[in-house]
Amino acid sequence: MSTVENTAVKRELEDASDEGIASNTNGGLMKRQVIVPVTKPRIHYTPLKTGLCYDVRMRYHAKIFTSYFEYIDPHPEDPRRIYRIYKILAENGLINDPMLSGVDEIGDLMLKIPVREATREEILEVHSKEHLDFLEKTEKMSREELLKETEKGDSVYYNNDSLSSAKSSCGGAIEACKSVVEGRVKNALAVVRPPGHHSEPESSGGFCLFSNVAVAAKNILKSYPESVRRIMILDWDIHHGNGTQKAFYDDDRVLYVSLHRFELGKYYPGTVHGQYDQTGEGKGEGFNCNITWPVGNVGDAEYMWAFEQIVMPMGREFQPDLVIISSGFDAADGDTIGQCHVTPSCYGHMTHMMKSLARGNLAVILEGGYNLDSIAKSALAVTKVLVGEPPDELPEPTKDTKPEALEMVDKIIRLQSKYWKCFKRNCGNAGCDFKEPITETILSKNFPLQTAIRQQQLQNLLLDNYKFVTLPLVNQKLSEDTVFCSQNVYDASTLVVVVHDTPDIWAARNVITGTIEPSSSIIVDSGLQFIKWAVKRNYGLIDINIPQSLFEQDNYSAMITAQEVLLYLWDNYIKFSTNVQKIAFVGIGDASSGIIHLMGHRDTRNNVKAIISFIGSKQLKPLVPLVDESLTDWYFKNSLVFSDKNHSCWGDNENKKPRKKYGRVLRCETDGINNIVEERFEEATDFILDSFEEWSDSE
């Protein structure tokens, strides 16, 4: 057989093989056995498009201009907000609409979901008849009446088109959720306004007229009782969604999780309902979670930490049938109202995580966001993830989470562990019955550890080694071991007063039960360094232990106790010590607030030469000079205040310096009171010696 003939046979056999035909040993052909027939992809999610709700008519709701300045500096809730989002989607090819007119056919990636006005019956699922009746009247109000109602409202404005826009915004949210639940789209984005999450059942507020997400969720639960039994609402707007929370506060079918600035209620809407301890009531107890940022300037690190530690564990355990994101973009970097720094990449990552819940049934409903560039870029990042793109990498993935955020997340986990199994491993109590009262007697089952620590301090060091004695506090309702002093306290010319919180514990915790393993845990008492140092130099010494409150969550009572104890000691002991010429105060933790309070309420300048405070991450306390205005300058000159490296007072500005009323505040290289005492102990003692005009041991 020639070379040409061989090649032809070989090609014939290859073609036959491709068709499932094989050759036999005699050179003939036989059909190859089919193992797996060609099958259509058994997936329903990927082939579907992402739904998009948008209608230019929602831009008709606008503030009535009353001056030239309102024209050049428009209201933050600007009609252009939704236009800019729609425009950036077109610029990036996610939709096709060259005229940006809101056409129905928008391309291969997204499906247009027609916007309609919510019906009266749908709105009344959440809102009162009186509230709806009032908004219906705005259609026929005069310009003067509209301006009057705007002036009376809580950060809202009205025109004759406000009701129509609000109904369309609310109806768009409903239709976005319906299209996801019915399987017409894989997920949906509702680019709607006015926003909704501040609108309560009886009133408008915070730029919101109807509570869009709440109305949508109520109607979905009502219309699809078999397929949608549980809904998770995630609200990442920088403001608390008080209206959404109120609609479901007693409803166990809806898990509401909100991440927002709170700052002790100073940030809008500024009600107690936005506090982290608001967990729901009745059947809804445990189904409300407020993740409250105690400071501003939070960003990717804080949001990703909250998602990984709280949001996703709760979501997985709740097992929702639908997830709705109340998607405000006012936490975005560049928003002057939110003043935070969440990047578009972070919004993409958060969306990506939420897509893993409810089999991907996700509806993203626009809320706030007032920087037009920031809101557009953030919405683009979210939309890319919705259509199937992976999120961009975070710009600073190794950035440290703010200590205040770490503490808040830990508080929330401990609080929510009463309701959620996913948190119990972190907060196990080994069967302890905390309903039994905590008492100071060692005969009690629930015995406060800080009492045992103080007894150990006294027995091992202050009493046995240094022969300290009790300094009585008459009528102060404090334990006898609160204040101890050296025996030479009345004879010494130099006095050091150390006032401190209960020392820290470095503990090894059992990961199953949550209990501390005593054999592997140690007490770390930084205050003892100053006691040993002062005793070695034969100074008089007073040691004051300020116990943290056993019953008050945030320990404000401990700071008040420190203030009362310091005033009492000064008025009844120290100022009558005729031999004392030089005094130094050393404060550690919250207890140092008592020293600052004393400096402002008594003129101590004749004797007090140095004030040292180790505050760690605690809040700076200003000196309030009730005696003499010049006390502020004196305090700054004679004080050192050591803070954590990541203390909130420094912000993101390396050159920022706190005002003089806080003392001479110094930024340490580490975090944690024990670490900064170790780092700055020698500097602190040298400062005291210089103030006493004595030589340092190191010189």
- How far is 622 from 662, CA to CA, in rounded Å? 4
CB-CB neighbours of 507 under 10 Å: 14
| In contact, 491 and 540? CB cutoff 8 Å | yes
Q: Please report, to the nearest 10 degrees, the dihedral formed by the alpha carbons of residues 689, 691, 693, 694 taken in order.
A: -10
Q: Which helix (H) or strand (E) holds 682?
A: helix 673-692
- From start to end of 349-443, where are the E strands? 362-366
Sign of the Cα torsion 389, 390, 394, 395 reads: negative
Q: Among 345, 327, 326, which Cα is nearest to 385's?
A: 345
Residue at 397: amino acid letter: P
Written as six digits, the tokens of 339 are: 């003043």
Question: Which residues does residue 232 pair with via DSSP β-bridges, in sequence order?
Answer: 255, 323
Question: Which residues does residue 545 pair with via DSSP β-bridges, in sequence order?
Answer: 500
Could you give phi then psi for residue 223, rounded to 5 degrees?
Answer: -85, -25
Buried b (16+ CB within 10 A) or exposed e, 591-604: bbbbbbbbbbbbeb
Q: Which helix (H) or strand (E) holds 256?
A: strand 254-261
Q: Is 595 helix (H, G, I), strand (E, B) or coil?
A: helix
Tell me, yes or no, if 647 is annotated catalytic.
no
Listing DSSP states for 179-195 in one string gives HHHTTSSSEEEE--SS-
Question: Which residues does residue 610 pair with via DSSP β-bridges, in sequence order?
Answer: 584
Q: Among 292, 358, 366, 304, which Cα is nearest to 329's?
A: 366
| In contact, 336 and 329? CB cutoff 8 Å | no
Q: Is 600 helix (H, G, I), strand (E, B) or coil?
A: helix
| In contact, 617 and 644? CB cutoff 8 Å | yes
| In contact, 521 and 508? CB cutoff 8 Å | yes
- How far is 449 from 187, CA to CA, in rounded Å? 52
Q: Among 530, 520, 274, which Cα is nearest to 408's?
A: 274
Question: Which residues does residue 322 pair with via DSSP β-bridges, in sequence order?
Answer: 231
| Given the residues 61, 131, 197, 198, the one annotated as active site | 198
| In contact, 304 and 348? CB cutoff 8 Å | no
**Exposure of 38 in the CB half-sphere (CA atoms within 13 A):** 2
CB-CB neighbours of 164 under 10 Å: 16
- How far is 419 from 428, CA to CA, in rounded Å? 12
Sign of the Cα torsion 409, 410, 412, 413 reads: positive
Written as six digits, the tokens of 438 are: 């905590």
| In contact, 563 and 595? CB cutoff 8 Å | no
- How far is 87 from 101, CA to CA, in rounded Å? 10
- How far is 10 from 353, CA to CA, in rounded Å? 53
What is the DSSP-derived secondary structure letter of residue 342?
B
Residues 6+ apart with CB under 8 A from 295: 263, 402, 404, 405, 648
- How far is 190 from 173, CA to CA, in rounded Å? 6
| In contact, 471 and 569? CB cutoff 8 Å | yes
- How far is 193 from 269, CA to CA, in rounded Å? 19
**Exposure of 71 in the CB half-sphere (CA atoms within 13 A):** 4
State the catalytic residues.
198
